[in-house]
Amino acid sequence: MSEGVLITGDQNPLHLPAKKATDDTQWRSLDVGAEADYFLLEVGSESEAYRIIGLVRQKLLPAVYLKPLILINRGGDVSKSLQDQVDFVISSQQLEQQLPAKLLDEVESINRRIDALQEQRLKADTNIALRVVRYLYSRDREVEPVASIQNRGGYTFTGIESLFGGHDQSIWQTLDFLNSQHLVQTRFVTRTHQCASCGCAFLNFKETCPQCESEELDADDLIHHFRCGYTAELSDFRQDDRLVCPKCDQTLRHIGVDYDKPSMMYHCRSCDHRFQEPEIVTTCFDCHRTAPPENQIHRNIEAYKLSMLGVNAALYGLDSLFASILERRLQLLPLDVFERFIAVEKARIGRYKVSHSSLLLLDIKGLEEIYLTLGERTSEVYEELANLFYAMLRSSDLISSRNESMFLMLLTETSPDDAKIVEGRLSSGVGELLKASLGASPEIISQIVNVDNALDLTEYLESFLSEHHAE
C-alpha cells in the first residue's frame, strides 16, 4: 500500500486524517518525505500550487525533488501549464475513495526509476543539468516546448520549468548544453524568429516603404472591371457603400463574375512612392532593435528526450565530454546494457568452454579535471583519446563507462594474456597522449579480469571503487 505526504497551502486545508500531513512551514525546513511514495498537493490557488511545486522541485535530494506530485483539484479547471508541472491531477472525490490503480502503477514506475539511482538518490544534486537529466530519466518521457508569452524565448518547457528557479534563459542554456553533450535526443517541433541581439521571440513584423523606410503605408486592391477593361484602385470605385465603375458607370456586383482583384498596391504616405513589394523589417519588443527578418535568429524549437548516454548520466552522474565523444566514435554502451552483454558472454563461454574473453578496466585518474588545464582544447585531446581507443579495439569489442574516467571494455575471444598486450598499449598510449597535452602523466589504473561464471560485474566494480576511490 503506497503512502503519500500531503502538502497543504495556506488556505482551506483539506483534512485527510488517513495521510501523514505536513504544512508549509515544516516543509520548508525539513527534507521530509524522502521515503514517501508521492506528494499530494492540496492548495487554494494555482499560484500557491506553483510555489509549492517550485519548493519540491528545487530540493536537493533526488529522492525528494523527483518525487511524483499529485495535485488535488477541488473543482474548476486546472491550467495546462500546471498540469504539465505535476504528474497527476485527481479530484477530491477520487482521493476520498481510493487512488486509481493506474495512477498508483505509474507512481510506482517513477519510484522504481528513482530507486535505480541507489545511494545517489539520497545525495544532494547541485548541478542543474544533472537534475534535468535525472528528472527526464525518472519520467521516461519527452519534454515538449509550449508556446508562452511569459517566456521571452516564446516557448517554455513547462514539464521541467519548476526545476529552474524562474530563470527561463537557463532552461535553454541547460538544454543546449545537454544536447551538445549528446545526453539528449531532439525532435523538431517548430521554428521561431528571435532577436539576434537579445534572444526575445517577440518581434514586430512590419511592412515598410522600400524607398524611404516609412511604416506609414496604405494598401489598396486593384480592381479590374471585366466589361470595359477599366482597371484602378478600389478607392476609385467606391461610391457610398457600392462599387461603381468610373468608366462605364455600372455597379460592380460579384467578385469573379464581373470584376476581380488582380493585385494589390502599397502607397507610402510619407514619400508618395507606389510599390507592390514592401520591405519587411522586424523590431524587438524588448530591446527595440530593428533588423530585416533574415538578420534575426531562426531557431529550431525542439522536444527533448534522454539519449542512452543521458540514461547513463542519470544513473552514474554526468558523463564527461570524453564519454560523449567516445559514445559517438565507439558507440559507448550504457552500463546496464554492458552488464547484459557480460552476462551473455559468461553464459556462452560457460556453455561451450572453448574460448576466453577478458574484461579490461581502465581508470584514468583526474581525467575530469583536464578541462581546467586545457580549456577549449579539451575536446581535441578527447578526440585523440577516442581515436586511440578506436585504434586499439576491434569491432567485436564492447566499451562502456562507469563514470567520467572509468572505462570498461569487453575483449571477446581474448585471453587475459592477450588482453595484457592491449592493456599495455592502451595505458602507455593514453599516458603519453595526456603527458604531451598536460605536461604530466596522469595516474592510470588498469585491471584485467577473465570473463567466466565467477565474475559478478556489480560486485567487482564496487570492490574496485572502494579500493581505489575510498576518499
Partner 1 sequence: MLNDTWDFITGLSAAQLISYFWPFFLFDLTRYVVFDVLILTLYLPRRKRNKQRRAEARKLLFHEKPLVSVIVPGKNEGKHIPRLAESLTRQTYKKLEIVIVDDGSDDDTEIICRKLHRDGKIDQYVRNEVRGGKASAANTALYYSTGKYVIHLDADSELRYDSIETILLPFYMDANIAAVGGDIRVANLSQTMATRTQAIEYFKGISTGRTVSSMLGILRIIAGAYGAFRRDTLDRLGGWDVGPGLDGDITMKIRKLGLKVVHEPHAVCYTNVPTSFRKLARQRFRWDRSMVRFRARKHVDVLMPTSNFRLSNFIATVENLFYNLFLNFKWWFYVAQVIFFYGALLQHIIVVNYVLYTLANLAEFLVATVLLRKTLRKQDLLLFLYLPLMPLYTGLYLRIVRTYAYIMEFIHKASYADRWNPWKVSRVVKKDGL
- Residues 6+ away with beta carbon under 8 Å from 389: 326, 329, 330, 399, 407, 426
125 close to 131: Cβ distance less than 8 angstroms: yes
Is 232 a binder of partner 1 (CB under 8 A)? yes
Residue 72 dihedral angles phi and psi, to the nearest 5°? -90, 120
Instruction: Decide whether 169 or 239 has the Cβ nearer to partner 1.
Output: 239
Of residues 418-437, which lie at the interface with partner 1 (CB under 8 A)? none
CA 303 distance to own-chain centroid:
7
Q: What is the CA radius of gyration of the chain?
A: 32
Q: Indicate whether 222 belongs to the interface with partner 1 (CB under 8 A).
A: yes
Q: Does 228 bind partner 1 (CB under 8 A)?
A: yes
**Shortest CB 277 distance to partner 1, Å:** 7
- Residue 179 interacts with partner 1 (CB under 8 A): yes or no: no
Q: Which stretch binds partner 1 (CB under 8 A): 126-134, 228-236, 357-365, 411-419?
A: 228-236
Nearest CB to partner 1, comparing residues 182 and 225: 225
Burial class of residue 189 in the structure, from the number of CB atoms within 10 Å of its CB (0-12 exposed, 13-18 middle, 19+ buried): middle
Shortest CB 213 distance to partner 1, Å: 15
13: number of CA atoms within 13 Å, CB side?
A: 14
What does each C-alpha distance from 174 to 142, 171, 191, 370 come to in angstroms?
15, 5, 19, 22
- Comparing CA positions, the residue from 285, 287, 222 lying closest to residue 259 is 222
Choose between 248 and 436: whose C-beta lies nearer to partner 1: 248
Applying CB under 8 A, does 439 fall inside the site for partner 1? no
Q: Which is nearer to partner 1, 89 or 232 (CB)?
A: 232
Per CB under 8 A, the list member of 165, 226, 235, 298 interacting with partner 1 is 226
Binding mask 66-85 for partner 1 (x = CB under 8 A): --------------------
Distance CA 357, CA 294 (A): 58
Closest separation in Å from C-beta 207 to partner 1: 16
Letters for 263-292 (x = contact with partner 1 by CB under 8 A, - = none) are x-x--------x-xx---------------
DSSP letters of 35-88?
TSSEEEEE-SSHHHHHHHHHHHHT-S-HHHHTS-EEEEE-SSPPPHHHHHHSSE
**At 146, which helix (H) or strand (E)?**
strand 146-147
Residues 236-265 that bind partner 1 (CB under 8 A): 246-248, 256-258, 260-263, 265
Rounded to 5°, angle at Cα 438 from 433 and 443: 70
> Cβ of residue 265: shortest distance to partner 1, in angstroms?
7
Site size with partner 1, rule: CB under 8 A: 24
| Closer Cβ to partner 1, 202 or 230, answer by number | 230
Q: Which residue has the cell 538544454?
A: 175
Residue closer to partner 1, measured from CB, 233 or 384: 233
Q: Which residues lie near partner 1 (CB under 8 A)?
A: 222, 224, 226-233, 246-248, 256-258, 260-263, 265, 274, 276-277
